[in-house]
A and B are shown apart, each in its own frame.
Chain A
Amino acid sequence: MSFLAPALLIGLLAAAIPPIIHLIFRRKPKVVRFPALEFIRRSQKKTMRRFRMKQILLMLVRSLLMALVAFAVARPFLRGAAEPTAALEGAQGGTVVFVVDASWPMAYRLGDESLLDRARDKVENLLDQFSGQAALVIAGDRVEAPVGEPTGDFAALRKAMAELKPGHRADRLAEGMARAFDLVDEAPPGPRRVVVLTTAAGAARPLPEPPPAAGGLPPVEVIRVDAADGAPVPNRAIVDVKLSPAPQLGAGQWRVDARVASYADEPVQRLPVHLEVDGRVQVRGFLDLGPGQEATKTFYTRLDAKDATPAAVVLEGDALEADDTRRFWLQPAPRIRLLAVNGDPRPTPQLDELFFLERALSPETAAGARVELTVRGTDVFEDEDLDAYDVVVLANVGELSPTRGRALDAFVRAGGGLLVTMGDRVKPQELNAALGPLLPRTLRDVRAAGDAAALDEGGDRRSARLSVFDRSHPILRPFGDPAGSLGRARVGRYMLLDPAADAAGVVVMATDDGAPFLLTRTVERGRVALLTGTLDRDWGDLPIRPAFLPLVQQIVRYLTRVADMDTTPVLVGQTAPIPVEDPRVRRVSVQGPDGTRHLVERPTDPEAPWVFEATALPGYYQVTPDPPLPGLVALPGFAVAVDPAVSDLRGPRIEAPAAGEADTVRAALAGAKRTELWHAALLVLFVLLLAEGALLFRRKRTQSAA
């Protein structure tokens, strides 16, 4: 048995207090002349032995109580003989290289101290009992050897340990061990050991093996020590955050999906988690997590700011803070340059072909995309430079010149988006000729909806409904139940398409007539959408339906490939792409979480990626052009996070190690051999208190009864 605080065992002397008090305060007996002495004699014969036993027992209990308090305060523990570091204790001679894992998981707080504090204590304790030579390697953000030469003077080693702090990376342990093997390889002959102090998971992870010993030298012994001593280390972490627009909830709404993992053997109820925007808590929520389970918490937030805004999802009340926060930038909506060609302009706004489209894409209603809408008539369209646009909408355009057709073809193949909508002015053959290679299917002629159904039902129907939906299509993804929203729209007429077995297009929606209503097609780098209805109310009432607004916005996003905002985090130590496309910006200033600024030049090779490498700290990195560029929209930044892949600190679950695995298991569960006894001491203390109370109560009851 050992003690964490053996000096406090001096408190065992307190066991002598009850007898001392008894002796000091023992009074001389009072002399009483009494006639009925015979009865006292008879009573004493029967009761005195029992009474004395009780008195002695009571004093023993009280002495034990005092001794147990001192015993418990000294924090006793049992140490199994198989503890790896047992070989080191009291060892004479030899060389030890301590490899201390200073990765971010070592900041895990177990009670009042972190795992790194415990590792520090372990090294201190081992040094107290060790009389050979020791060196130190720290595997934190980088591998360092503050005591690179094994020495018998441990002062420098203790000093380096005292200044140790956890870093932000978790991938240096293998490198640190390799460094330790190098150091121990140069040590003088004798026992050579490498002691690795890390988490239970780290101890169980595959680590480099020591090189084979040179002739005659003993092999290097690797001792892995769990800094938590096998104590449970439950941890929760945010492993992913996804950001996507939520136009169905209103203008400017964003949906934030935070995936939270529990690395614990116990379930957790009502784990608090919140969304911060610009440093202020905006939404609070709770999560229930089973052992080892993952769950997703969804937040909705509205972004009104025009500049990039820092945001984060934060878990509360966890022992390891580094993986409890996932930061990201809520960036201003991406700019989409859209050219709408109006094939049927009208003087009355409500009757104009583009009246509803313009409102659906207005800045007040568009979420997640900032649409710069340019409207042109068919006559001016011939001369328009398509390179200045991301999406072109042909709304009820009757015909196109072959030149325009070719220009559109090139535009789409280069990555542009094209939306073609129908109307009375559309001439199918003309459009087929001009846009044939781009259209999902060729146009045939205008058909009054409900005709086929009317024949079957007696000719009463005049319109069709949208009833067939490809729910997996990105355009329909925000619609939880498209049949309930889009399905309410009535379609009076539509453009009948040629059936094509080998058609490249995908039918997104179709009417209950079976006629396709919305189709998409990918042509090289670009995308095309074909709406067989109109954007105004001529052929149906879709434009006046609430679902029209998110449908148009989703179509535009789909065509420009702006469906979701990229929230993939940059991990500490990885390179971060600098998100600046404007060719005028040649240099940016990147400000890190600690306030330091780094100037990064755009690479001269246009094919080379423009990246930032000094991502040593987790947090927000703000990117600004240097020098400032007037009129440039604020550049988005990026966020850096610790790698959640190592958030699970638990060691392997091993019930009964097989003989062959003994070494690995013993190493992995190094600290589990230590069994703290102070809990048991407190339990005994409590039982003794009860016993003393019972003895006293019995005596009082006897006296009162008498």
Chain B
Amino acid sequence: MARQIIDQALLTRLAGLNLPVGQVVEGVLTGMHKSPHHGASVEFAQHREYVPGDEIRHIDWKAYGRSDRYSIKQYEDETNLRAYLLVDTSGSMDYGRRGITKLEYAAQLAAALAWLLLRQGDAAGLLTFGERLGHFLPPRARGDHFWRIASLLEAEPVGGATNVVGALQHVAEVAGRRSLILVFSDCFDFDPKLAAVARQLRRRGHRVAVFQVLDPDELEFPFDELTLFEDMETDERLLADPRGMREQYLLEIKAFCESLRRDLLEGDVACHRLSTGEPIERAVLRILQGAP
């Protein structure tokens, strides 16, 4: 059954907002993001030598007067940011006892951010992944591209193990120039290479942000009775008495989240922890304000 990820009211409320990529990926107020493309614009970037085919109006006549050579002025352009949305569709993302699964939450968040990016003229693409790669939509800046992303998010099947590292490595291959890479996952693959791959992407000029989506049950462990826990990815079963281990469980998951966050931040990769118990609109606004 297709999941409902388009909240029209939310998209309407987000219509007047822009996605400050710098805040999203760095958490600091640096203003709107800048495009790496050069072209007609108002902000001077550099001079280059005139070649036939260039528009004559771009020739800097003052520079010709000083150097006796034709030079063309280049300007920075604020368009054409390429963003890759990586959404985890592994089995563990299908958990949700409070009306919404982690995947639904991640999909809604990804859709909202895609909506914002497309509305401000940037290009947004989508890659779904589980243990293996799912569907891939290359970034496009067209307005109807949002609906293609949304349709894919709504229909993408869930299952299998988590492999965030594989998805990131794939994006590293396909993203030819510096891009914005947003990962939506619970990061339960426990792969120590995650931080290393993220840092590698960052060194290539990409901006990377990881949105760790968790269910409140995972954060609070509100179980009392003797329970047979069944793994959602491997179907492994484990009998446990939550009363005797809650304290230790909470320590373990807190340590994992903190470790993940610390490793990513060391590689200049932002990490946002999101609980599906938090309304999606508030989470988006929090992200837009750069809060962790």
Contacts and interface: CB of A to CB of B under 8 A. Distances in A.
B247 to A, nearest CB: 5
Given A37-B238, A38-B188, A42-B252, A29 B244 contact: no
A32 B225 CA distance: 11
A68 B224 CA distance: 32
Contacts of A699: 243
A36 B247 contact: no
Given A40-B238, A706-B246, A33 B252 contact: no
Interface string B223-256: 1011111111110101111011111111111001
Interface stretch (A48-56, A284-292, A401-409, A457-465): A48-56
B243 A39 contact: no
Contact of A31 (B228, B241, B252): B228
A348 interface: no
A27 B232 contact: no
Provide the main secondary structure of the chain B interface.
mixed
B238 A27 contact: no
Given A36-B218, A39-B249, A54 B244 contact: yes
A706 B250 contact: yes
B190 interface: yes
Interface residues of B, number: 40
A30 B227 contact: yes
Contacts of A39: 249, 252-253, 256
Given A40-B240, A48-B244, A35 B215 contact: yes
A31 B230 contact: yes
Contacts of A48: 240-241, 244-245
Interface string A410-450: 00000000000000000000000000000000000000000
Contacts, number: 103
A27 B240 contact: no
Interface string B104-130: 000000000000000000000000000
B248 A43 contact: yes
A27 B247 CA distance: 23
Among B91, B93, B186, B226, max chain A CB count under 10 A is at B226
Contacts of A51: 241, 243-245
A44 B188 contact: no
B50 interface: no
A47 B229 contact: no
A702 interface: yes
A34 B232 contact: yes
B61 interface: no
B246 A32 contact: no
Interface in A658-704: 699, 702-703
Interface string A54-70: 11000000000000000
Interface of B: 91-93, 95, 102, 186, 188, 190, 215, 217-218, 221, 223, 225-234, 236, 238-241, 243-253, 256
30 contacts: A27-B226, A29-B239, A30-B227, A31-B228, A31-B230, A32-B223, A32-B228, A33-B95, A33-B232, A34-B231, A34-B232, A35-B92, A35-B95, A35-B215, A36-B218, A36-B253, A37-B232, A37-B238, A40-B238, A43-B251, A46-B245, A48-B240, A48-B241, A50-B244, A51-B244, A702-B246, A703-B243, A703-B246, A706-B247, A706-B250
Per CB-CB distance, the 3 closest pairs between chain A and chain B, nearest first, are: A51-B244, A35-B92, A43-B248
Interface of A: 27, 29-44, 46-48, 50-52, 54-55, 699, 702-703, 705-706
Given A47-B247, A48-B240, 12 more contacts: A27-B226, A32-B228, A32-B230, A33-B230, A35-B102, A37-B230, A40-B245, A40-B249, A42-B252, A43-B252, A50-B244, A52-B244
